[in-house]
Amino acid sequence: MSRPEIAAVVFDLDGLLVDSEAVWDEVRKSFVEEQGGTWHDGAQRDMMGMSSVEWSHYVRDRLGVDMDPEEISREVADRVADTYRQRLPLLPGAVDAVKSLAAEWPLGLASSSNRHVIDLVLDLAGIAADFKATVSSEEVSAGKPAPDVYLEAARRLEVDPGACAAIEDSTNGLRSARAAGMAVVAVPNSDYPPERDALAVASVVLDSLTELGPETIRSLVV
C-alpha cells in the first residue's frame, strides 16, 4: 500500500533539536540526591520519553524522593529551564532543518518536556513561529512509547496521522511515532542510541539534522 502525500511534519524536541538528555540527567540526579533519594545508572534511560506525570511518579516511587510528584516535576523542570537560559544546547542543523521544512509543510512538535520548557526552548532558538502546533506529553494520557502525543499533534494540525512525517531520535519516540501511523525519519542520538528494533521502524535514518531537508520528506512517499 502506498503512503499518501506528506501533509505535515512533526518533530521531537529532546535529543533531536536540543542536546538535552545530559541536562535532564544531571538535573534529576542532583535533585534526587539532594532530596535523599537513591539514583541508579538505568534511571535516565528508564525515564526517556515518559511524560512529566510519569517520570515524577518514578522519581518518587522508584528513586525514593518523598515529595508530591507535581512538586518534583515543577522543581526539576525549572532547573532545566534555568540551565537553558544560560546556554541552549542546540544540536547542529536544528534551526536550519526546522526552517527548511516549515517553508513547505505545517510543523508540529511532540515532546516529553514540560510545557513551559518547550515554549522556552522554541523562543530561545528563534523557531517558535515555525510551529503550527506543539504538544507536551503532560497534556495527553500517556507518554512515549504510547502514540498519544503524536496523535494529538496531528489532531491540532488538522491532518490525518498517516499523512504526517515524524522526526525522532530515541527508542520510545520512534515507537510512539510509528504507533501513531506516521512515516518515521530517525536521527539517532549518539549518546543514547535507539534499540535496533525501534530503529527498524524508520523509513529513513540520518546521521544528523544537517542531512534533513525537504527532499528527505518527499522521499517518504512510495
**pLDDT tens digits, one per residue of 109-120:** 999 999 999 999
pLDDT tens digits, residue range 69-92?
A: 999 999 999 999 999 999 999 999
User: Long-range pairs for 136-140 at CB < 8 Å and ≥24 separation?
Assistant: 136/51, 136/52, 136/111, 136/112, 137/49, 137/50, 137/51, 137/52, 137/54, 137/110, 137/111, 137/112, 138/51, 138/52, 138/53, 138/73, 138/114, 139/115, 140/51
165, β-bridge pairs: 9, 183
Residues 6+ apart with CB under 8 A from 86: none
pLDDT tens digits, residue range 163-185?
A: 999 999 999 999 999 999 999 99
Matching fold, domains 8-20+89-218 and 21-86: no
Query: What is the CATH code of the structural domain delimited by 8-20+89-218?
Result: 3.40.50.1000
Flag whether pLDDT at 222 surpasses 70: no
Flag whether pLDDT at 1 surpasses 60: no
Q: Locate the domains of the chain by residue range.
A: 8-20+89-218, 21-86
Flag whether pLDDT at 128 surpasses 80: yes
Say which CATH class 21-86 falls into.
mainly alpha
Residue 108's nearest CA partner among 17, 9, 177 is 9
